[in-house]
Amino acid sequence: MAEEDSMALRQISIASTISADDYDFSDQEDFSQPEEVVATEDDEARCLTLEELAQDQLEAIDDVNSIFEISPGAARALLAHCNWDKEKLLEKYYNGDSEDMLFNEAHVVNPRKIARTEQEGPVTCGICTCDYDAAETMSLECGHRFCTMCWENHISTQVTAGNPFVECPEGGCKVQVDELTVTRMLKDPELLTRFKHAICRAYIANNPLLSGCPQPDCPNAIKVRRAEARTVRCTCGFRFCFACRRRDHDPLPCALLQVWNQKTTDEGETARYLAVNTKDCPKCNVVIEKNGGCNHMTCRVAACKYEFCWICLGPWSAHSGSYYQCNRYTEHAEADKKRNESRAALDRYLFYFQRYQNHENSIKLEDQLRRAVARRQDELQRQDRTWIEVQYLQDALDALSVCRTALKTSYCFAYFTIRNAHLDLFEIHQSSLEAATEDLSHMLENKGGEEATAKAAILDKTAYCRQLRTVLVKFVKEGLEMGAWNLTDRARALCMPH
């Protein structure tokens, strides 16, 4: 396997009082390195193609074979059974589990217990029930023998169904056909390709250190040293969370992202709006929405025309032309208290949702900015600029997208918090990132001024935005680890360490 050049990721830590004027990054070559773990050949993560995934599997199999001295097929089955964890496999092999039990759980026959016997005379295939010479049949280590044609049909059917683990066709037998045998017996090149892809997908699914890129039509996978929630970036450009495989959502934890997504799509919010902003006519029970400031309400249903007070729902005739008579506390006022609490909860949700949605819309609208920047890069290259000299514009666009994503999800996280000093500091970091992000967006939209001066300013602002994002994400994660956040009960149960 050809190894890619290693790329070192630098992590930048800055104080909460950082100012863009204090830094000049225009002369630094690697200012644009993203803060998330970039899935390239480095100490943290690698992006593997299908060919590299296959090679990665072979290397793991060779390591096991060098210890156990068994067939590659048996080694693959044992590793898959232990989620491709070599240390776990060695522990199970040498500490406690018997060899036979381990091989049985992995659906392979212990190669040290196989009795080699030569088949003599005609053999009756267990599928088509025809008699064949022994040379025209085949069996696995389990000893169940079938004709070659039935084997080929069985394997082709299983691979067509997308099954990477083909088992012996004998009823009740779970012994798996090794990859080499499957490859040899598949005559259709398309099926062979499908089988190799299925093997790679199974390898990704069973290995906790691997995560397939969720971008449609991208076959790559990310391999990390430690399985944990973090943002990684595939070489196709897609950023996603390694743990939940959703689009990058730092600094929002995976569990809260799921709750937020459920909340934003839940029709219960519509019901809450109706509960706060509408009331039923006390006479005919038709839903009425208040459309003016006066509390003297008249039902619009022709057969009703009931006049009542919006505040207490009592008949308007009892108010002597004034609604101030219903200011005394009664048992009905308790319902008004609950309604006010519901209104406050809704207002709080809408505050954070609108800001979340604003950045979501900005990300979508910046597709137009991306096209404009691409045209600007082409124009500069026609003016004798090299490709690398205009790449700072693409780096700035990437930084803009990453920062808007962080801002978007930071409002989701703030929704699950209760006001304390840590939230006050968080909002300072959030405000700084928001201001810097808007400045960068304005710089990219502005085509005026000297190109060299604009380039230096964009370089500085890009680096500054990336640093502020790093600070915001780190602040949230460290606060969760230290228990500094005052979270809602549900968020605390999901996020705080036990």
Helix and strand numbers (H, E) in the chain are 14, 14
SS3 category, 210 = strand
Q: How far is CA 166 from the centre of its chain?
A: 31
CB within 8 A of 298, min separation 6: which ones?
A: 305, 306, 307
Q: Could you tell me which of 222, 253, 189, 140 has the C-alpha nearest to residue 494?
A: 253
CA proximity to 243, closest of 256, 259, 258, 227:
227
Rounded Cα gap, residues 143 and 266, in angstroms: 56
Extract long-range pairs of 321-325: CB within 8 Å, 24+ residues apart.
Answer: 323/295, 323/296
- Distance, in Å, from the CA atom of 263 to the CA atom of 257, rounded to the nearest integer, reads 10
Q: Is 108 helix (H, G, I), strand (E, B) or coil?
A: coil
Please tell me the number of Cα atoms within 13 Å of 415 on its side-chain side.
Answer: 27
DSSP state at residue 133: -
CA distances from residue 170 to 50, 128, 137, 140, 433 in whole angstroms, order as listed: 32, 12, 14, 11, 64
Please count the other Cβ atoms lying within 10 Å of the Cβ belonging to residue 466.
24
DSSP letter for 487, please. B
Q: Looking at 281, 294, 299, 403, which residue is catalytic?
A: 294
For residue 294, indicate whether it is catalytic.
Answer: yes
Query: What is residue 3's DSSP assignment?
Result: P
DSSP string of 297-335, one letter each residue: EE---TTT--EEETTT--BGGGGTT-GGGG-S--TTHHH
199-219 burial code (b ≥16 CB/10 A, e <16): bbbbbbeebebbbbbeeeeeb
Task: Tell me which residues are annotated as active site.
Answer: 294
